[in-house]
Structure formats: structure tokens, C-alpha cells
Structure 1
Amino acid sequence: MILLNIIKAADYKLLKEKLPALPWYMQQYIEHKLPDLSPSTLLEYTRDYMRFLHWLMAEGLTLASSPSLVSLLDLERLTMANIDSYKLFLQLQLNNGLSTRERKLASLKSLFHYLSQVAEDEEQYPLLKRNY
């Protein structure tokens, strides 16, 4: 039990260190999920998000110069073809097996659900206006 608490504390510290590299809306999501998910799970989410953000940049789907600058508008512009391309990237470029791909996509799906269904702007509209 003590070892688990040490691991959770270490993962929480690492999570806090990695958060500034993410866009504000991803940071907000991680903070929102802290009471519900373990720091280890959220640390994996941040890794998934960073991989996705770097992929967006490499594919020219954002003009952001760093992952933290990828905008919500960049996410709104994504098409199903883009999502399919990301799935192929996970499979062919990263050699991720089916369960790993599904886990990585589940973390993104959870984020997109939060942005389009839970989080609100100052006028109580969803932060993300379009979601696949």
C-alpha cells in the first residue's frame, strides 16, 4: 500500500510538471478529472495528448509552433479522414496493437466529449463546437 502511494505521489508530481506543455483546454480537462482518475491514468492521458498534438503539427493540421499553442479551432477543423489518418499512424508508424490504439483513442474521445458536452465558455456554450 505504501508503494502505491509513493507511485501515485510521483505520478502526480510528474503530471504537474507536464501540464504546462499542453494547451489550456487540455490542462483544464486534466484538472477536471483529477478527483475521478488516478494520477497514473492522467499521466498516460497527457502522453497520449502530446503524441496527438505532435502528430497534428507534423501533418500540417495546425499552424501552432508548439503543442501548447494548438487551438480549439484546430480541433474543430478535424475531419473523419484526419481521425482515420491518426488511427493509421498509431497502427503503422508506432506499431501499436489494437488494445493500445483503443486506449489512446479512448483518452482523446474522453477529451473531445468534455470539450463538446461538459466544458463551457463564459456564455455557457460548449468549448468545442464540433466533435467526431
Structure 2
Amino acid sequence: MPTLSVENLKETLKLFNLDKCFGDISKYAERCIQSQKQENPGSTNMPIAITRCQFNAIARKLPKILKFIHAQGACSRMFITGCELCDGRLLDVVSEESDESEEELKEEITEISEEEKVEESQKTSLIR
């Protein structure tokens, strides 16, 4: 089985269009792979790495989730890589990175869903 690389993970995140939902998701790729290698040297798992990248991106988009996880002392257990709060950075710094409101995020998710439906119908019409 080939070793999972940062570039391979980044390409896979783009292939699954996760960069459209989580614009900055690829910046967590290297740290997620490193944490996997520390836990289980010589073995990395693509689905686990993708999930960890998604979770890190969500936690940064919704600072209340990051604050809750940190308050529970669960950053490492929840695979939060480079927790800003653990590093002594203020939560305001985290929320500045997340400048989209919940309503904007919902709209963005809806637009992506609609785009995917259009793409799927185009594929189906080509098959027929």
C-alpha cells in the first residue's frame, strides 16, 4: 500500500469538492497526516485524514465549537490540529479567520448542492 502524502490528500480533497465547502481545508492536510503518523507510525489512512481535515475546517468556521472542545480539554482527542486556544491565541483571532456568518454558510452549502444536482442531471442525460 503506498504511503499517503500531503499532496495526495490535497488532491483528494479537491477531487471531492471539499475545497468548495471548506475553502481552507487543504491547510490542515499536513498536520492531519503528521498526527496520524505519530499515532501509528508507517500507516496513514485516507478516509481518516479526510475526516480530520473536515473536522478541523468546521471547528475553525464555527468558533463556538472550537471553544467548547477546548474547554472540555478534548482538542487532541477530537484531532484538532494546532488549536489556537491551546497555543495561547485569543478566540477573537479564530473568529476573524471565520468571517462568514451562519446564514452565508447555509447559502453557500445550498448553492453547492444545487450545482451538484445540475451536474448529476447533466451526467444522467449524457448516459441516455
Task: Check whether TM > 0.5.
Answer: no
Length-normalised TM-score, structure 2: 0.33
Length-normalised TM-score, structure 1: 0.32
Larger-gyration structure (1/2): 2
